[in-house]
A and B are shown apart, each in its own frame.
Chain A
Amino acid sequence: MKEKSGTTSGFRKFLYNDNTVGYVFAAPFIIGFICFSLIPILTSFYYAFTDYSLGTKTAEFVGLKNFLKLFQDEVFHKSLWITLKYVFLSVPLKLIFALLVAFLLTRKSKMVTLYRSLYYVPSLVGGSVAVALVWKQLFARKGLFNTVLDGLGLNGINWFGDQGLALIPLILMSVWQFGSSMIIFAAGLKEIPGTYYEAARIDGANGFQMFRKITLPCLSPIILYNLVMQTISAFMAFTQASIITQGGPNNSTMLYALYVYNQAFKYNDMGYASAMSWFMLVVMCGITAIIFKTSKLWVFSESGD
């Protein structure tokens, strides 16, 4: 009897503990993270050293064979190169565009909120299959863009048939989804004290000078954040390539994530795909580290440490 009341009170104590509420509310995330992120991440690390295939379901340890295979795989080299090209072109373009629009939308006008929402919409539907299909139609041989070009008396462009051009629509699609970066920039722009601009104006600075000497430095921490986030997500781009071009022509749009997917689910080489994923993790870590290292040179911190 005594014991029982002891455990119930212990349970009550636990139930009414301040931290408990926090844990319970966080539990869905924690459980989700462990089940759907942490465990798969750890198993994929193990699979990277095996010949695991979804079909046969046997995983034999093969040591570094998967990683050595990376060096001989022509398609892998090409997809790595294409992905770097995609990242280095799409991320700066997207950020410049987002900053430009955010800057335009700092004016005090009633329509600003509406425009901001409108420009944010593409980001909401960003990774979706539907948008990729629309994009495929727009750039198709007889799609909207070529119809317009025809109307202007120009020759239509064979976007997805030319290996030099096929990546461009995919980059444009990513640039078009500039909304989330734009919102963050807009918030950052609001934080810059108006007094700086006033002072500069009194000193006779023009708009461009103010942008260069005040806006950019004050915004640089935000630019760093956006740069890192967008770089990481650009490395993982998958939907466009999978839906629109399936990697063609001549693998010129074989983005890394698509090739990993093909190896894992189409060619049944989950072990090799896992090895590729871990290789990409290293590459992404490297590039992010470089961004952080160089950020000391261009990120302006007001606390001035």
Chain B
Amino acid sequence: MGNITMRDAFFDRLYKVAQKNRNIIIMNADMGAPSLDKFKKHLSGQFINVGIAEENMVNVAAGLTLGGKKVFIYAIMPFVTSRCYEMIKINMSLMNIPITAVGVGAGFSYDESGPTHHSTEDIAIMRALPNMTIFSPSDSVMAAQCAVMSCKISGPSYIRLDRHMLPGIYNQNHDFSDGLTSLKNGKDLCIISTGNMVYRAMEVSKKLADCGINAGVIDLYRIKPVNAELLLRNIKQARAVVTLEEHLISGGMGSAVAEILIDNNKTIPIKRIGIQDKYYYAYGGRKNIQFLCGLDADNITKTIIDWFKKQRKTVYGKKS
């Protein structure tokens, strides 16, 4: 499924589910896409465009859910998270209402649109909400599966889709119920990544191998609740952990991992790589923004090598 965006993969699958389950309602805040048009054309009774009014979308979704519907709300990521955050807090999280919020545009997906459309703090704010389940898929196979998984969750959920076409990682029938997948073993360190940065972690792992560092890669796609037991088991052999995400370092997936390590007395060097505490008005495409904030493969590799060498000296007393 490498030739389809996450959004189209997700809505194509959801369309099939919604054809069978007429209780499913898709709400959106004036968003268009060919994969959405099918709902409008063939399942018009299950499709609601609320106009550019995301707060109302959440509130109406809550009412529809209390009235027996399974509702998906969809918008560009900042507008279905931070824009209507208090509505999500009360009418999804606090009342534990099983609405699924679907955002498109993770990280710098909407590159040229600037920070109003970038989503670099959504993990931090959404994972602060009790009862919330967060999926951060890394390819389109997983994104499609999220449409199915979210229907089975009894509480609210949030799915963060990338806007761009990402390389395929998983086979069609992969089981994503574990919440994370170990894609590659490594005896020196383990890179835990999410979303679009998972494929980047695989690239970096190859570059590190060329420099004599054996790095494993874990795809942490369910950011809340994290499968802590499986995560700890998977990093048992690693001497250091690196987290990698296209999200602010503060409060993101790396913070979630650090909390788990600390709370489980796992004293291991950890380096969180992500976006520094700033916004990026930068153009020339996502690659350029990633380069400017150090999230291109070469910069990440260099960051990890420099850090890992220091760890070896200070923690293990070895010469690099």
A binds B: no
Chain A interface residues toward B at CB < 8 A: none
